[in-house]
Chain A
Amino acid sequence: MIDLKSKTVEKKATREAFGDEIVELGRNNKDILVVDIDIGGSCKTTKFMNEFPKQHINVGIAEQNGAGLAAGLATTGKIPFVSTYAVFGSLRMAEQIRQEICYPNLNVKIACSHGGLTPANDGGSHQAIEDMGVLRTFPNMTVIMGADYHSTRKLVKQAAEIYGPVFLRFTRDTIPMIYDENEEFEIGKAKHLKDGNDVALIANGDTVHLAIKAAEILESEGVSVKLLDMHTIKPLDREAVLECVEIGKIVTVEDHNIINGLGSAVSEVVAEQGKGKVRRIGVQDQFGQSAPYEKLLELNGITVENIVNTAKELL
């Protein structure tokens, strides 16, 4: 298992991973385009814009047109990455994504910073707690959130390589670096961080490092933990979830409303098996507010302590 205690943990926002990787992608493939919606600075596309001005489009504050225009570009073989905040990139352009990107199954990527509670001091209006849930209900859509800088870079690269619509969600705030740069990731395949047989923890995005710490504590108390980084919530790695069903006790952790996110996706598989229990840790179906990011997590019980306690309750 990755040992967070063993090293001084460096932190980085995963929007930086997008900003760095998209430059590499754009350099190697002139069909890679960025469609900005006026917030390129905070979505980290400025480097791309400066290096490849001909591959950069800015539609101004007009999300709906950004999504539709990207669909038109994709019909000609371009691979546009529409870049905005997760709350707008999911909800403001939801119908355009459905009608003009997912319905015709076009090769458009929606790459969004400010996922979950990470735009903490911006307040509840800017915190995206429904985005992954809404988009996972669209046929043809793939929904991804990497757990740290390096995994996010790998997943962005893969998103460019697979055909079809992908929603990628990044953090605004910094989160611990978990993986080293040589670690490999596959869209649709959970990252197995630890095997165990008493309880399973399934986390994604900015909560994976919390689940790792919780697993360490549980292990130190003699509890055998299986731990998964479920970076892709759609298509969900059903096989990995079924392994957790064998254990029968599952705690999901996510920076997203507990309705319709990772916890729901896992619960759907578990319910179909008719055995096993799931406890969902995540945003408690309530809007956020301006506060430090850690405070917001705490208000929703998205903490190492709560993961540990919830797991113990299941034992």
Chain B
Amino acid sequence: MKDISIEELKELAIEMRKTAVTMVYEAQSGHPGGSLSAADFVTALYFREMNINPKNPKWADRDRFVLSKGHVAPIQYSALALQGFVPYDTIHTLREYGSPFQGHPDMKKCPGIDISTGSLGQGLSTAVGMALAGKLDEKDYRVFAVVGDGECQEGQIWEATQSAVKYKLDNLVVFVDDNGLQIDGPTEEVMPNQDLEVKFKAFGFETKRIDGHSMEEIVATLDEVRGANNVKPKAIICNTIKGKGVSYMENVVGWHGKAPNEEQYNQAMTELAGGLN
């Protein structure tokens, strides 16, 4: 863990959002909505919580980060660029030929990516494997996985969940980005998830539901979870807003996988500079 204030984290979350939106705008392709809903807890993980070293991305004892909802790669790339895993200018190459910033995270092309993802429902299993390896090797590292609420419609999420509980992976922390929207519409209409916190709890996880845009709550929850070596994997269900921080994107289904035009981009930058409401 790094010593950094809540205020500094909020400032970084602004940079994270601006960077992610800039990437998608310049590429004219990518997924801004879910990148923005996940921005705050991803910021807290990368800039405060995780033991990682941009100079040694494959350090064996590092904490791992698994973006199971791989399409929101821009928010992870923002963290990697701001931390110096890659030169900051890499942000101008999203989805370009030869770029480390592929459309979805590719561990072979980009330092700091612990596992390639992109096919929904699969990342959590790999996170379980990493956490299990940590237990087998008696290492102290932890594994942080980010899954989407829509993604929880995949059966494999629950296969992974049951195995995390069986192997007592208290070194696994799952963030569920519960923004309520998926490509075809509201999750409640496309395929209701019921209460994801209840589901994770029923599978044997330690759970908590928080405001996924409150840096105070995110940090407090991470502080709670850090010392909890109680044989239970943790699931933090985050109430979030898709597109958070850009007024015209907020809670709008169409901003799942669309790039802003120039006017929209300028408006987004102005709004984001002011921080969250």
Question: B-contacting residues of A (Cβ < 8 Å)?
Answer: 33, 54, 57, 59-60, 62, 64-65, 67-78, 80, 95-96, 99-100, 103-105
In the assembly, what is the distance between CA of A59 and CA of B167, in Å? 10
In the assembled complex, which residues on chain A have CB atoms less than 8 Å from the CB atom of B122?
Answer: 64, 68, 95-96, 99-100
The stretch of B89-97, B126-134, B210-218 in contact with A is B126-134
In the assembly, what is the distance between CA of A297 and CA of B163, in Å? 39
Asked if A100 and B160 sit within 8 Å, CB to CB, the answer is no
The 5 residue pairs across chains A and B that have the minimum distance between CB atoms: A72-B129, A68-B125, A65-B159, A72-B126, A62-B159
In the assembled complex, which residues on chain B have CB atoms less than 8 Å from the CB atom of A57?
Answer: 132, 167
Asked if B126 and A75 sit within 8 Å, CB to CB, the answer is yes
How far does the Cβ of A61 sit from chain B's closest Cβ, in whole Å? 9
Of all chain A residues, the one with the shortest Cβ separation from B114 is A75
Among B119, B134, B162: residue with most chain A CB under 10 A: B119
* Contact for A68 among B118, B131, B136, B156, CB less than 8 A: B156
* Contact for A73 among B66, B116, B124, B132, CB less than 8 A: B132
In the assembled complex, which residues on chain B have CB atoms less than 8 Å from the CB atom of A96?
Answer: 122, 125, 156
CB within 8 Å of A: which B97-153 residues = 106-108, 114-119, 121-134, 136-137
Given A54-B136, A104-B107: A76 and B118 interface contact (C-beta under 8 Å) = no
In the assembled complex, which residues on chain B have CB atoms less than 8 Å from the CB atom of A75?
Answer: 64, 107, 114-115, 126, 129-130, 133
How far does the Cβ of B251 sit from chain A's closest Cβ, in whole Å? 30
How far does the Cβ of A274 sit from chain B's closest Cβ, in whole Å? 34
Asked if A72 and B115 sit within 8 Å, CB to CB, the answer is yes
In the assembled complex, which residues on chain B have CB atoms less than 8 Å from the CB atom of A72?
Answer: 66, 115, 125-133
In the assembled complex, which residues on chain A have CB atoms less than 8 Å from the CB atom of B107?
Answer: 75, 104
In the assembled complex, which residues on chain A have CB atoms less than 8 Å from the CB atom of B117?
Answer: 99-100
Given A69-B160, A72-B132: A100 and B108 interface contact (C-beta under 8 Å) = no
* Contact for A104 among B115, B133, B155, CB less than 8 A: B115
Main secondary structure of the interface of B (DSSP, over half): helix
What 14 additional pairs, Cβ within 8 angstroms, besides A69-B163, A99-B119, A100-B116? A59-B159, A65-B125, A68-B129, A69-B132, A72-B129, A72-B130, A75-B126, A78-B133, A78-B136, A95-B122, A99-B116, A100-B122, A104-B106, A104-B108
In the assembly, what is the distance between CA of A71 and CA of B127, in Å? 9
In the assembly, what is the distance between CA of A166 and CA of B137, in Å? 24
Asked if B162 and A71 sit within 8 Å, CB to CB, the answer is no
Asked if B118 and A73 sit within 8 Å, CB to CB, the answer is no
In the assembly, what is the distance between CA of A83 and CA of B156, in Å? 18
How far does the Cβ of B139 sit from chain A's closest Cβ, in whole Å? 9
In the assembly, what is the distance between CA of A57 and CA of B129, in Å? 10
In the assembled complex, which residues on chain A have CB atoms less than 8 Å from the CB atom of B134?
Answer: 76
* Contact for B137 among A60, A70, A76, A80, CB less than 8 A: A76
In the assembled complex, which residues on chain A have CB atoms less than 8 Å from the CB atom of B108?
Answer: 104-105
In the assembly, what is the distance between CA of A73 and CA of B66, in Å? 13
In the assembled complex, which residues on chain B have CB atoms less than 8 Å from the CB atom of A95?
Answer: 119, 122
In the assembly, what is the distance between CA of A73 and CA of B121, in Å? 17
Asked if B162 and A68 sit within 8 Å, CB to CB, the answer is no
How far does the Cβ of A48 sit from chain B's closest Cβ, in whole Å? 15
Among A68, A75, A77, A95: residue with most chain B CB under 10 A: A68
Of all chain A residues, the one with the shortest Cβ separation from B124 is A68
Asked if B125 and A76 sit within 8 Å, CB to CB, the answer is no
How far does the Cβ of A130 sit from chain B's closest Cβ, in whole Å? 21
Of all chain B residues, the one with the shortest Cβ separation from A30 is B136
Asked if A65 and B115 sit within 8 Å, CB to CB, the answer is no
Asked if A100 and B130 sit within 8 Å, CB to CB, the answer is no
In the assembly, what is the distance between CA of A70 and CA of B127, in Å? 10
Asked if B130 and A65 sit within 8 Å, CB to CB, the answer is no
In the assembly, what is the distance between CA of A74 and CA of B64, in Å? 13
In the assembled complex, which residues on chain A have CB atoms less than 8 Å from the CB atom of B126?
Answer: 68-69, 71-72, 75, 100
In the assembled complex, which residues on chain A have CB atoms less than 8 Å from the CB atom of B163?
Answer: 59-60, 62, 65, 69
In the assembled complex, which residues on chain B have CB atoms less than 8 Å from the CB atom of A69?
Answer: 125-126, 128-129, 132, 160, 163
In the assembly, what is the distance between CA of A70 and CA of B118, in Å? 17
Of all chain A residues, the one with the shortest Cβ separation from B136 is A54
How far does the Cβ of A131 sit from chain B's closest Cβ, in whole Å? 20
Of all chain A residues, the one with the shortest Cβ separation from B139 is A76
In the assembled complex, which residues on chain A have CB atoms less than 8 Å from the CB atom of B66?
Answer: 72
How far does the Cβ of B98 sit from chain A's closest Cβ, in whole Å? 17
Asked if A70 and B129 sit within 8 Å, CB to CB, the answer is yes
In the assembly, what is the distance between CA of A190 and CA of B104, in Å? 38
Asked if A73 and B130 sit within 8 Å, CB to CB, the answer is yes
In the assembled complex, which residues on chain A have CB atoms less than 8 Å from the CB atom of B137?
Answer: 76
In the assembled complex, which residues on chain B have CB atoms less than 8 Å from the CB atom of A74?
Answer: 129
In the assembled complex, which residues on chain A have CB atoms less than 8 Å from the CB atom of B125?
Answer: 64-65, 67-69, 71-72, 96, 100
Of all chain A residues, the one with the shortest Cβ separation from B133 is A76
